[in-house]
Structure 1
Amino acid sequence: MKMTEKVSIDEFDGKKFKIRFTVEVDNKKAVLTHYLQNRRNGIQTHFEEEATQYLKEITTYKNEVENINLVEDTAEQHLLFEIETVPFPAPTNPTFTFIDLFAGIGGFRLALQNLGGECVFTSEWDKFSQTTYRANFGQVPFGDITKESTKRYIPAEFDVLCGGFPCQPFSHAGLKKGFEDTRGTLFFDVVDIINSRRETENPVKIVFLENVKGLKNHDKGNTLKTIIKTLEKLGYETKYEILNSRNFGVPQNRERIFIIGWLKDDTKSFNFPLGIDRDNEIIYKKEDLKDIKETNVGSILINKPEEKYTISDKLYAGHIRRRKEHKEKGNGFGFSSVNENSTYTSTISARYYKDGSEILIEQKNANPRKLTPREAANLQGYPSDFLIPVSDNQAYKQFGNSVSVPVIQTVFNEIQKQLM
């Protein structure tokens, strides 16, 4: 485990100072922000000693270097106030607890908090995503979840494990080995966390996972079979379904697979909300969803975006050329354009920052333009007060990698009704 006793960090008010703190360097801020939020809500953490030592170092430094008379309680109240005034603080009277793995910028967290949940641990290794996460939720995510030095901060008890784990191939032998064959993949770390609580008084009640649609047929279906078999061996009933965001009030053609696992119970079963009825009509209209005002593309667009979002003549010419080449080959691929009257867009991905080819907005007497980062947030169902503290390129990556918040919220609402 990478440890240190003297490191340079950014203080919480933007100032830099050195501390002596025997905790893994990548997790020091996560330790303090998780501790403070849990304490605020009356949840005891098993790393209180480390967190209070960190707080003591901050207080000592500010007194010595800035020549002020600060006591630890005052410093703690200052940081607590900072956590409480973020756009999306944890609920003060939660009805369930969850951990947020591969958290990205907090799409799962936002949805589950809206339904009364409190996040007691979160993990995300990307530093730019960590920046966005902390700006909106007041907590710095812990780092690499594959390390035992990170897993040791996960509380012994929580109700729900959720996350969009990356899709990785398992060997064909996985259909026989199950849990063991998942080693070396990030799904193994999910399983490891579940398994470590399996024989305790507080096993994980619900597993809620999301992935790309291709997981269903990945490695000829062996990857998904291994995942389901592994969860079943751990004592969970499971169901999976491919859901499309456009059927849940989100104006985006985005298909993702969702996997639900619940502790085996003969009295419980689960049915996914598909978002459509037998006649393929959308059930979830705009009035059913908290964070989407309309269901057409025009509702997500900003009236007068900056000129920089209009693509150049050179890039537009390249898009047209590639579309023509693809059409001649008969594969039908090329850039995708929409206008304010369109019902939905194609899928935004993490590569959107490169050329915007997935979604270009038509403009009168001008080249088409890319979405703005705020429009990308709208397209994924994030509320208007969700902060975007990173560059445009990073924002595109983050929203392209994110879940559609209303879909997560609708599915988990059914989980609460049917399983909890």
Structure 2
Amino acid sequence: MKQVYKVGSLFAGVGGICLGFKQATFENNEYELAWANEIDEYACETYRTNFEHKLIQGDINKVLNPNLIDIEIEDLNKKICKETDDKTISRFKSEISMLEEQKHYYEHQREKILKYKIDVLNGGFPCQAFSIAGERKGFDDERGNLFWSIIHLIKDLDKIHGKPRILFLENVKNLKSHDNGNTYKVIKSELEKVGYIIKEEVLNTMDYSDLPQNRERIYIVGFLNEEDAHKFDLFDRIKNLKVKKSSNERMEDTKKVIDYSITSKDYEKYYYTRKKYPHYFITEEEYNQIPPEVRKEERVNLEEQINEMYQFYQVRRGMYVRKNMSDVCPTLTANMGTGGHNVPLIKVNDGIRKLTPEETFKLQGFPIGQGYELPKKYNGRSYSDAQLYKQAGNAVSVPIIKFLAKEILRIL
């Protein structure tokens, strides 16, 4: 008999976890996406372009507790009492009116998120607070505090429908070691307090999928039932399932995600040229003419140093060029669209270029042009490449999610 398990998704981004669960099936059993939550308006636009189920847009803390807005209203009322300027008072009153509308909106969103009994609660909760690429403030960062919304939602769902049977969370590898392991101890302890048996594993995308990207992430699976937890032995045997690929096989995987037919005529903005980046095309003669006390230790010349097709390179810290020695793309990051250093670069037939937004999504396993599309417009304007790069860098690797979701479906 066909069994369908309902899924709720927090911090959904552009839907990588949702897509992985949607793609997963096992013996005629499958998942159904009940709702997703995301705060970023651009990510929401990309999400809505690709999914039809309910998207709850907004701050999850306010969704779960609309009364938080009363605190903001109270603060503004206090300012009004002290203010003498009529224009400022009028502005404060206008802000209060907007907050009152916002509270009504969030009350409605709370009803939506608590409407369904869900079997699986998932979420790639914000990782910047723990990422090695950021300042690693952990729970001192507002984004790190968003972890607690997962606990609050579990408790709220429990009062109405019971707790989700499965909890599925994803984050950066560094979460495990952050603050000498204390951060993860708190997270695991809090999840255990609300009734879950926790299993976790760090997986690298390149080791467990055909995607040519080095991307290590921690995957945390929580089980409400001891029997489910006992059946889930995937992490115990995971190392035996590693994908081992030759350089030629990696090359073939790269060809599937990188469009080598692109030319500078139509995609000029992605190309690195001497005119745009003169400091990345320094000849030996030019280098020798720079006074020793001011020139960089290594000479950078992309045309000379990025010399192999089907490989990935980076200009590290703007100081030197490095080829990825694993024959895969370095970890995609949320700031790769802002220019500067550490942007993945490739050699193509007519020069050197960075990846297009479509290619970065493909490197995360999104089926661009085959059921998943990137928005072209938003609010009457062309959709920003910078936003798409950010979304791809923040996303999960869809095949890894599908792989894990299928195993969860098997034990269910």
- CA–CA distance in structure 2, aligned partners of residues 374 and 298 of structure 1: 14
1:32 corresponds to which residue? none
1:392 corresponds to which residue? 385
The higher-RCO structure (CA 8 Å, 6+ apart) is: 2
- CA–CA distance in structure 1, aligned partners of residues 326 and 203 of structure 2: 21
Instruction: Write out per-residue CA displacement over residues 325-345 of structure 1, whole angstroms, 9 at most, x where no aligned residue.
Output: 5879xxx76676669x97311
Contact 1:238–1:260 (Cα < 8 Å) also in 2: yes
**TM-score normalised according to structure 2 size:** 0.65
1:222 corresponds to which residue? 182
Name the SS of the counterpart of 1:97 in structure 2.
Answer: strand
Counterpart mapping for 1:65-80 below 5 A = none
Contact 1:212–1:255 (Cα < 8 Å) also in 2: yes
Name the SS of the counterpart of 2:353 in structure 1.
Answer: strand
1:124 corresponds to which residue? 38
> Residues 313, 275 of structure 1: CA spacing in aligned structure 2 closer, same or farther, 3 A cutoff?
farther
**Cα distance, 1:202 vs structure 2:** 2.7
- CA–CA distance in structure 2, aligned partners of residues 242 and 219 of structure 1: 18
Counterpart mapping for 1:204-215 below 5 A = 204-215=164-175
Name the SS of the counterpart of 1:103 in structure 2.
Answer: coil
- CA–CA distance in structure 2, aligned partners of residues 111 and 217 of structure 1: 27
Counterpart mapping for 1:167-246 below 5 A = 167=127, 185-198=145-158, 202-246=162-206
Matched, 1:99 2:8: yes
- CA–CA distance in structure 2, aligned partners of residues 310 and 277 of structure 1: 39
Equivalent position to 1:142, from 53, 57, 65 = 57
2:220 corresponds to which residue? 259
Matched, 1:417 2:391: no
- Ranges in structure 2 where 5+ consecutive residues have no aligned partner: 25-29, 66-105, 131-138, 283-294, 300-315, 376-382
Contact 1:96–1:118 (Cα < 8 Å) also in 2: yes
Q: Which letter does structure 2 place at the counterpart of 1:417?
A: R
> Residues 194, 315 of structure 1: CA spacing in aligned structure 2 closer, same or farther, 3 A cutoff?
farther
**Cα distance, 1:264 vs structure 2:** 3.5
Contact 2:204–2:216 (Cα < 8 Å) also in 1: yes
Q: Percent identity between the aligned chains? A: 37
**Cα distance, 1:121 vs structure 2:** 1.5
2:92 corresponds to which residue? none
- CA–CA distance in structure 1, aligned partners of residues 112 and 298 of structure 2: 53
Name the SS of the counterpart of 1:152 in structure 2.
Answer: helix
1:153 corresponds to which residue? 112
**Cα distance, 1:113 vs structure 2:** 1.1
Please identify the structure whose Cα radius of gyration is greater: 2
> Residues 273, 316 of structure 1: CA spacing in aligned structure 2 closer, same or farther, 3 A cutoff?
farther
Name the SS of the counterpart of 1:100 in structure 2.
Answer: strand
Q: Which letter does structure 2 place at the counterpart of 1:297?
A: T
- CA–CA distance in structure 1, aligned partners of residues 143 and 361 of structure 2: 35
Name the SS of the counterpart of 1:158 in structure 2.
Answer: coil
Q: Which letter does structure 1 place at the counterpart of 2:189?
A: K
Structure 1 window deviating more from structure 2 (304-313 vs 188-197): it is 304-313
Aligned pairs, how many?
Answer: 304
> Residues 304, 185 of structure 1: CA spacing in aligned structure 2 closer, same or farther, 3 A cutoff?
same
Counterpart mapping for 1:321-332 below 5 A = 325=296
**TM-score normalised according to structure 1 size:** 0.64
Name the SS of the counterpart of 1:345 in structure 2.
Answer: coil
Instruction: Write out per-residue CA displacement over residues 272-291 of structure 1, whole angstroms, 9 at most, x where no aligned residue.
Output: 4589645x951699xxxxxx
- CA–CA distance in structure 1, aligned partners of residues 9 and 172 of structure 2: 18
Matched, 1:380 2:289: no
> Residues 217, 281 of structure 1: CA spacing in aligned structure 2 closer, same or farther, 3 A cutoff?
closer
Instruction: Write out per-residue CA displacement over residues 287-344 of structure 1, whole angstroms, 9 at most, x where no aligned residue.
Output: xxxxxx98632221113322221023266444578xx95879xxx76676669x9731
**Cα distance, 1:351 vs structure 2:** 0.4
- CA–CA distance in structure 2, aligned partners of residues 336 and 101 of structure 1: 38
Contact 1:243–1:274 (Cα < 8 Å) also in 2: no
Matched, 1:111 2:72: no
